[in-house]
Structure 1
């Protein structure tokens, strides 16, 4: 790693992403075999990640059966894993709230003991532009498992990770509340002309 190791706060260190999690590949059962599909195994794609309204993954657009799971090289990862789209596009991200597997467009980060899931979620999310720059490929950009494994992470002690993540969660919740309030105000503004017209033609003005 080329990151500067000097002038870090006490207990902070540069590590590789592969040091703090196991990176798991995904795969896709054959789409022409009906018995592989419409099962009860959550199967995440970049499209699923791109449609998340919150960071939490609870379900998928399509599910696969046990036969479909066994037919390909995807892997079920546990609740709490971070799911990252590594192509088409690079950069969608979520946290698994259920056990699930993914297609080949995603990588799953199964966390080890020295990393907080929310801290890593926010770190990866903030690092998306840098990760996108590491992508390669002629048809579409993709970031490989090996490049992800060596991606540098600035890691504080676990208590500090949790403190930082808690602050970010609180601030992000406040941002979301403000966004919803702004959307409600905008909707009211957009409805105002119609309301004025109705009042006018009802003789209420």
Structure 2
């Protein structure tokens, strides 16, 4: 097929590049003669109702017309909704308005409405605007303050879109739809596989550290305060640059805890920063626990494999007697009771853990030889599970890149 170079994009010779405003109305006016009773039910689409991954409306609301007839965005069956505000725009919250009650609907004012004319399919426009390169260009047009930036109407009006003949659009859209359905199925399968591997990892730990009514011979219950020394850190004054600039002391914060085994970290402080704060060197092979932090951070543990200091959000634990406790055993035990640790203060509690609380955590302690056997067995099993987990994550990452590739090919006529 012969292709012409047009606006840096090769398209078939039967196609043409047009501005979106030439083939669609952007933010069309609401009909003045809309005769709709106040108590009649209508479709309402808040931003959370749009699935960013699929680019589809999944959970619309049904509300009385009187609640939405003023102050909201009006659209009709077949219109394309474009989320104009950050970060919804970049995340892909753009959808075709379908299955609307009586063919009309209302939504958040953060939508631009694109109404395709007779020579273009809604699916063609929708697929085009969801491309990464289009969304990237849209960010360059943002107006407004940071955090409240929006894509202006004229960006969409002047957006160049390749336009094939209508039969060609239908053919490509049908093929693209089938391909994206297959991608979605593959993604779902990969996600299920990933979750299964994660559950396998959890079960390996739970099988070893399950609650036992009667402890095996030689085992005993202890608290962390009985068997561990503990220390936390501090933060040097951030306004004094000599505490940080050109520093060579590794300085850990709560976000570093997710490494499982910590050999390095991004942050550094100087010797002056260390000496003029509560930060201090932590023993190598300590078990670190996050006392607080965002998301799933609080209660997460890691093994420290390098000389480093930390801030006050982390607590380091190390055996009082290395002939009675192995750090790796402690790490695995605490990993297995992660949710129990979070539940001590409530899973949504913002106050976090403390040294006092951590000292009271109980664990079953076997003789040293058994600890080492457990660690050796678990290490092999978890290493194998982690390799499969990495493969699953890489597979899912590759699948997630497919839609962008398919869309690009579709709009180049391949």
Partner residue in 1 for 2:33:
none
Partner residue in 2 for 1:156:
366
TM-score by length of 2: 0.43
* Correspondence 1:47 to 2:255: yes
* Correspondence 1:73 to 2:248: no
TM-score by length of 1: 0.83
Partner residue in 1 for 2:232:
25
* Correspondence 1:99 to 2:307: yes
| Larger Rg over CA atoms | 2
How far did 1:139 drift?
A: 7.9
* Correspondence 1:145 to 2:355: yes
**3-state DSSP of counterpart to 1:91:** coil
Shift of the 177–73 alpha-carbon distance from structure 1 to 2, 3 Å rule, reads: same
Do 2:318 and 2:327's aligned partners in 1 also have CA atoms closer than 8 Å? no
Shift of the 130–186 alpha-carbon distance from structure 1 to 2, 3 Å rule, reads: closer
Shift of the 166–35 alpha-carbon distance from structure 1 to 2, 3 Å rule, reads: same
- The answer to which structure, 1 or 2, has the higher relative contact order (CA under 8 A, 6+ apart) is 1
Match of 2:269 among 38, 42, 64: 64
**Structure 2 CA distance for aligned equivalents of residues 23 and 190 of structure 1:** 43
Shift of the 71–179 alpha-carbon distance from structure 1 to 2, 3 Å rule, reads: same
* Correspondence 1:175 to 2:385: yes
Shift >3 Å, 4+ stretches: 183-195
Match of 2:334 among 124, 127, 130: 124
Unaligned regions of 5+ residues in structure 1, if any?
Answer: none
How far did 1:118 drift?
A: 1.2
Deviations 1:14-36 (A, max 9, x none): 01101221010211100110000
How far did 1:191 drift?
A: 6.2
**Structure 1 CA distance for aligned equivalents of residues 397 and 361 of structure 2:** 43
Match of 2:290 among 71, 76, 85: 85
Do 1:135 and 1:144's aligned partners in 2 also have CA atoms closer than 8 Å? no
Deviations 1:29-84 (A, max 9, x none): 0011000014111111111213x2xx211122211110000111122112111111
Number of residue pairs the alignment of both structures matches: 194
Partner residue in 2 for 1:11:
218
Unaligned regions of 5+ residues in structure 2, if any?
Answer: 1-210
